[in-house]
Chains A and B, each alone.
Chain A
Amino acid sequence: MEKILIRDVNFWYGDFHALKNVSLGIEEREVVAFIGPSGCGKSTLLRLLNRMNDLIPATRLTGEILLDGRDIYDRQEDVDRLRKEVGMVFQRPNPFPKSIFDNVAYGLRVNGIRDKEFIAHRVEETLRGAALWDEVKDKLKASAFALSGGQQQRLCIARAMAVAPSVLLMDEPASALDPISTAKIEELIRELRREVTIVIVTHNMQQAARVSDRTAFFYMGEMVEYGLTKLIFTDPLKEATQNYITGRFG
């Protein structure tokens, strides 16, 4: 069974038809990249997977999105619990104005964990997992705002991983970062895929090629092509995909 199954999804912002009949499946512990020009619907689809678009008024969805076979848009769905299962990392690093420690501990605390020892242990574990521990272990009480942009983004990844999600959504996680920080994030994605299913939206084609197993190409709200990354980048079926990845438009 697919980890995530998207079936006949249509989505509107008011009158704007942002996603048109999109269907795709994502296997467990796979890294899937969504690529396509701005406004193609890739971020919209990503934000449907943890119901982040619920926050936007006047939107409408048809079709189904299943996580482990469960319809996440079902009336019974507990959205807060869903978001604990499906973590998210945003385009711009958005650590809270709290200490480094409290940032990572936040997700645990809001999910009702009080055990201080467990929290401390988990914070260290996830900061190590995000390759940030050695840089911050002596200043866990310092503000997260004192970190560099790249460090902040790795902190946000640690923060998301702390609540042990089974899916991690990444919305252009490196687009605001310098090349060295970007390389670190990509390295991290390759590590994290052992624990979670990752869906990443990116504008950077090389990045999609480097980190993902499969790639979906979106254009004007439609999913043009979806397949193994190496095939998409070497031998795409559709001309539009070919044109986009070779940089002829976008």
Chain B
Amino acid sequence: MEHFIPYPARQGFRKRWSQRAAFLLFRLFSLVVAATLVIILGFIVWKGAGAISWEFLTEAPSNGMTSGGIFPALVGTLLLMLGSALVAFPLGIMSGIYMNEYATRGWLVRFIRIMTNNLAGIPSIVFGLFGMALFVQYLGFGDSILAGSLTLGLLSLPLVIRTTEEALKDIPDAYREGSLALGASKLQTIRKVILPMGMPRIVTGLILSLGRVSGETAPILFTCAAYFFPQLPSSIFDPCMALPYHLYVISTSGTDLEAQQPLAYGTALVLVAIILLVNLLANALRRYFQHKVKMK
């Protein structure tokens, strides 16, 4: 037993207790985070639930926005989510595929990657300003669903590119080689093996980007959102109301802030509910695609 290291009796005790204390601390902090979320959600539900009714969801604001519902804003937000998806999904998925499957090296790809990363860090109000300059003014779309969708699409583009790229990067090369070794072309390999395998994660990323879009105010401020536009838009060149902007409007301006307050909380509750639904949808779709590609 010459290599026996004397073990101080106190050390075991100290180790055990420092371990316990550390875990306790970690747990405490996690609980604080969870509790904050619960408090915020609880607060919104408590303040907003009273405002929710069928009429609130299906009617336009009335009496100088001191009563009535949020129907046009709800429709506007859904339209903007759809529109930005139509812009960002095809562009973003194709760029992600290009970056991971076709051109993983070289200065051009490095440049694109740096730019997309930086794009993701640009404040959304700057996107709004850019959208106003390019889409609203230069291209002459005016304040419109089209301009808003394009701006929001650009905003979510980096996220879509990144998730696509990351999802594809994690697929082992063994599957690419397996497919190519059978005489499949690169495009066939991507379409029939790689994309289906990446789908669960890509779809999750897409949906989460939708969630983000639904809550953005700044990018649509100068490109699309209307202060008050109670009729439904008739074309993509019409402006529209949107939930986050409507929330801002009725909490800060208007004829009777007191009377508007319950409506503001109701609007917030609907917005949160949309994001919650979007996240649940993302989960469900991920499971569906996982099942579909027969990972098990």
Q: Hey, which bits of chain A sit against chain B, CB under 8 A? A: 50, 52, 55, 57, 80-81, 83-84, 87-88, 90, 92, 94-99, 106-107, 110-111, 143-146, 156, 159-160, 163
Contacts and interface: CB of A to CB of B under 8 A. Distances in A.
A52 B176 CA distance: 11
B180 A83 contact: yes
A228 to B, nearest CB: 29
B296 A96 contact: no
Nearest to A83: B183
B293 A88 contact: no
Interface stretch (B25-33, B116-124, B150-158, B192-200): B192-200
B105 interface: yes
Given A80-B184, A83-B182, A106-B179, A94 B197 contact: no
B9 to A, nearest CB: 48
Interface residues of B, number: 24
B181 A160 contact: yes
A110 B182 contact: yes
B293 A98 contact: yes
A84 B181 CA distance: 7
Contacts of A159: 182
Contacts of B197: 97
Interface residue SS majority, chain B = helix
Contacts of A80: 180, 183-185
B1 interface: no
Interface in B163-184: 172-184
A143 B182 contact: no
B296 A107 contact: no
A106 B294 contact: no
Interface of B: 105, 172-185, 188, 192-193, 196-197, 293-296
Contacts of A92: 174
Nearest to B193: A96
B296 A146 contact: yes
A110 B175 contact: no
B107 to A, nearest CB: 14
Of all A-B residue pairs in the complex, the 7 with the closest CB atoms, nearest first, are: A84-B183, A143-B294, A107-B182, A110-B184, A88-B181, A94-B174, A94-B178
Contacts of B193: 96
A84 B182 contact: yes
Nearest to B291: A143
Given A55-B180, A110-B179, A159-B182, 16 more contacts: A52-B177, A55-B176, A88-B181, A94-B175, A94-B177, A95-B178, A96-B175, A96-B178, A97-B294, A98-B294, A107-B184, A110-B184, A143-B296, A145-B296, A160-B182, A163-B182
Instruction: Count chain B CB atoms within 10 A of each CB in A55, A81, A84, A110 and give the residue with the most.
Output: A110
